[in-house]
A and B are shown apart, each in its own frame.
Chain A
């Protein structure tokens, strides 16, 4: 999402399009430079996770070094006032965020479950060696997956920036941690699960803010994360590990 800064002078649409593409390519670059060497050495999965946290720190700090840490304005997207539903007021950009997220999820579900490259993604994840033997270039598939991940993250970044109308280098930090909590709640590896997890985390935050005051808002996601890990570590829709007969 950081690359949103790029091309602010081109007008908003080309800037957004460019940032989606560049963030996708950044995803590939991160995979090739940092994660592929780990896979080649067959290191444990947690090493990759820690590496990505390190990379995100590097990116945040590079941005701070070159662009400064102060908040910068970002144009509001799709802000057409509010919609009244009875006594409920909904901001039009909130509706837009919801629709874009829903559409993104549907597209991702279709890619993963209905296309040939999606089948190759699932095969590579389950058994990389066998996938290779089937003629799948696993490294290409992993790069493609990172590209998709980068593009999705950039879309999320655009939505958040357009909503709050400011950008700063560390804005993704809290969003990332909360997204992690939502993904664990939904079940890692389940796309619909992460959507529902996100909804539950978001609604819980709003309820907490209303009932206990807004200073307790940010801890909600982490309380949910801790509870999920204690009570149901697989998450709501997570698959139990399939063991070979």
Chain B
């Protein structure tokens, strides 16, 4: 579904992605793990069109989307819940969600989006009129994911959904990731919390210094002694 081929991205003189090749198949949860500065967020930003890639290609459903402007990416069926949540702090929960469906013209589809999100996140329904900046961190993360789901995307990119959240909220978020995937949404998950990420994923890629250092079935990656030592805090 999503194919990335030999992608190179620079930040000024910094060669952040040094030839990434990976793919995400339909209905999969694929996780991308790696330490700070490995290039995880750069990869997500390259897919979304926020940073330009200098070499290589990204294609989605056999259409090349490399360096497409970010506001067109969502029309292709890709949605993102960005790192740091990035909700609109002065807008209400309802307005935030409405913006997630900005490019959808069909009113009944927007309504379905609201219903789906409120069913997944009953907490958001209780706070429809509340301003997003006053929500707790966990609620803001739910809002960011809910907002991304409003356009009923085929591929959902989740950038660090567990960042800065209490452990019980993290569990809740990962349960929801599995539910969303079971509803038919393909998910590319970027996480520093490798344990949790691998437990909900089918496959995984390990990123190191802008390169894929390992890839395979999530369970095999979790059992790999090098991964255990570097990312899972074991051995």
User: Is B truly associated with A?
Assistant: yes
CB under 8 Å from chain B, chain A span 195-245: 239, 242-245
| CB proximity of A125 to chain B, nearest CB, Å | 9
Q: Which B residues, 171 to 220, have Cβ-Cβ distances below 8 Å to chain A?
A: none
Question: Is B135 interfacial (CB 8 A cutoff)?
Answer: yes
Q: Which residues from chain A contact B82 at a C-beta distance below 8 Å? A: 129-130, 133
Whether a CB of chain B sits under 8 angstroms from the CB of A132 is: yes
- In the assembled complex, which residues on chain B have CB atoms less than 8 Å from the CB atom of A136? 71, 99, 102
Stretch binding the partner chain, chosen from A8-16, A115-123, A169-177: A115-123
Q: How far is the CA of A244 from the CA of B86 in the complex (A)?
A: 10
In the complex, what's the smallest C-beta–C-beta distance from B107 to chain A, in angstroms?
12
Q: Is the CB of B88 within 8 A of A245?
A: no
Q: Which residues of B contact A44 (CB under 8 A)?
A: none
- B74, B91, B137: the one within 8 Å of A126 (CB): B91
In the A-B complex, the 9 residue pairs with the closest CB atoms:
A135-B74, A242-B133, A130-B86, A135-B103, A132-B70, A137-B71, A126-B88, A134-B99, A135-B102
**A122, A136, A245 — which one has the most chain B CB atoms within 10 A of its CB?**
A245
A residues within 8 A CB of B89?
126-127, 242, 244
Contact between B140 and A245, CB atoms less than 8 A apart: yes
A131 adjacent to chain B (CB < 8 Å): yes
A138 within 8 A of B: yes
Asked if residues A122 and B88 are in contact (CB atoms below 8 Å), the reply is yes
Of A127, A129, A135, the contact of B151 (CB 8 Å cutoff): A135
A244 surroundings in chain B (CB, below 8 A) = 89, 133
The smallest C-beta distance from A83 to any residue of chain B, in angstroms, reads 42
Can you list 22 pairs linking A and B with CB atoms under 8 Å apart? Answer: A123-B88, A123-B95, A123-B99, A127-B88, A129-B86, A132-B50, A132-B71, A133-B82, A134-B71, A134-B74, A134-B99, A134-B100, A135-B71, A135-B72, A135-B75, A136-B71, A136-B99, A137-B71, A242-B89, A242-B133, A242-B134, A244-B133
Binding site for B on A (CB under 8 A): 116, 119-120, 122-123, 126-127, 129-138, 239, 242-245
Inter-chain contacts of A243 with B (CB < 8 A): 133
The CA of A244 and the CA of B69, in the complex, are separated in Å by 27
What interface size band does chain B fall in? 20 to 34
Neighbouring A residues of B72 by C-beta, 8 Å:
135
Closest to A189 in B: B90
Indicate if B125 sits at the interface (CB-CB under 8 A): no
Q: Using Cβ atoms and an 8 Å threshold, which residues of chain B touch A129? A: 50, 82, 86
Residue of chain B at shortest CB distance from A126: B88
A132: chain B residues within 8 A (beta carbon): 50, 69-71
Q: Tell yes or no: B48 within 8 A of A by CB.
A: yes
The 0/1 profile, CB within 8 Å of A marked 1, for residues 68-107 of chain B is 0111111100001010001111110001001110110000
Report if B40 contacts A (CB, 8 A): no
Contacts of B91 in A (CB 8 A): 119, 122-123, 126
| Nearest A residue to B139, CB-CB | A245
Say yes or no: B48 contacts A133, CB within 8 Å.
yes
- The answer to whether B136 touches A122 (Cβ under 8 A) is no
> Which of A130, A131, A132, A134 counts the most chain B CB atoms within 10 A?
A134
The CB with the most chain A CB atoms within 10 A, among B86, B91, B98, is that of B86
B221 on the interface (CB 8 Å rule)?
A: no
Contacts of A123 in B (CB 8 A): 88, 91, 95, 99
Question: Given A119-B98, A120-B102, A133 and B133 touching (CB < 8 A)?
Answer: no
Chain A residue contacts of B74, Cβ below 8 A: 133-135
Are B99 and A120 neighbours in the complex by a CB distance under 8 Å?
A: yes
A167 to B39, CA, bound (A): 59
Shortest CB-to-CB span from A66 to chain B, Å, is 39
A120-B96 Cα distance, complex, nearest whole Å: 10
Whether A242 and B50, one on each chain, are in contact in the complex, defined by CB atoms closer than 8 angstroms, is no
Decide if A119 touches B95 in the complex (CB within 8 Å). yes
A242 to B189, alpha carbons, bound, how many Å? Answer: 29
The residue in A132, A133, A137, A138 that gathers the most chain B C-beta atoms within 10 A of its C-beta is A133
Distance of A25 Cα from B93 Cα, bound (Å) = 34
Set of chain B residues within 8 Å of A127, measured between Cβ atoms: 86-89
Specify which chain A residues have a CB less than 8 angstroms from the CB of B99 in the assembled complex. Answer: 119-120, 123, 131, 134, 136
